[in-house]
Amino acid sequence: MKRLYKIEEGRMISGVCGGIAEYFGVDPSLVRLGWVLFGCLGGSGVIAYIAAAIILPDKSKII
């Protein structure tokens, strides 16, 4: 079963983008670029990132 979580290894800020990239099997740079573009479109990406950083558990707490 796949689980969505924040990564600790290789993270930039809180590990949200790395965790999402690992979940979908894509490059973390693409996910980070997507968040930046989403954030530039009215700032809703910043709010979504902060919410994800608060809601998503760390990988070490799941395993």
Q: Where are the domains of the chain?
A: 1-58
Q: CA 58, CA 55: separation in Å to the nearest integer? A: 10
Q: Is the pLDDT of residue 63 over 70?
A: no
Q: Tens of pLDDT along 38-62?
A: 888 877 778 888 898 898 888 776 6
pTM, to two decimals: 0.79
Instruction: Count the neighbouring beta carbons within 10 Å of the beta carbon of residue 42.
Output: 9
Residue keyed to tokens 């809703």: 44
- Residue 32, SS3? helix
d(CA 63, CA 49): 23
